[in-house]
Amino acid sequence: MKKTTKTYAKVMLAAALGFSFAAEAANYTFAEANAAVVTIQDDKLPMQQELLGEHADINAITAANMRQAYITFMENVREQKANWGDTEWQNAKNVLERLNAHKETVEKELGTDDKGKIKMLQAEFRTLETGGDIKD
């Protein structure tokens, strides 16, 4: 009976160490990814100014004007989408991804209405992007 207990303890220890290693590796990868995002955000992406207008400096967007930044983005996407090819759609998607990443930093300060409106605008972008893919 003691041998079974020792074997069980060894298996549990090995599993715990494996889990610990995996968690640390994931945390390290996440930290590297965040560092890369911060580095990339120092430069404006193609189309960032024309899609976000006065909100083009994404790092300066606060919770109070986050909703308006998404509205401005989508208004400009709707106006320009008819003339876009794959490159423009990819550039717009990159701008939206950067905007989404910044939104996560102020998410706790956003109201429920703002969060709902932003989700609707994100979904609209995906719908328009898919429609653009179908046209191609």
Helices 86-106, 112-135: inter-axial angle, 10-degree rounding: 170
- Residue 84 sits in the same domain as residue 121: yes
Work out how many domains the chain is built from and give that number. 2
pLDDT (0 to 100) of residue 39: 46
pLDDT band at residue 91 using 50, 70 and 90 as cut-offs: very high
pLDDT tens digits along 15-69: 655 656 555 656 655 555 555 554 444 467 889 999 999 999 999 999 999 999 9
Sequence-ordered alpha helix ranges (H) in the chain: 2-40, 48-52, 63-80, 86-106, 112-135
Q: 26 and 88 in one domain? A: no
Structural domain that includes position 21: 1-40
Answer yes or no: do 52 and 10 share one domain: no
pLDDT of residue 45: 86
Quick: pLDDT tens for 118-127. 999 999 999 9
Do 125 and 64 share a structural domain?
yes
Q: Which positions ≥6 away from 54 have C-beta within 8 Å?
A: 72
3-class state of residue 42 by DSSP: coil
Q: Are residues 112 and 76 in the same domain?
A: yes
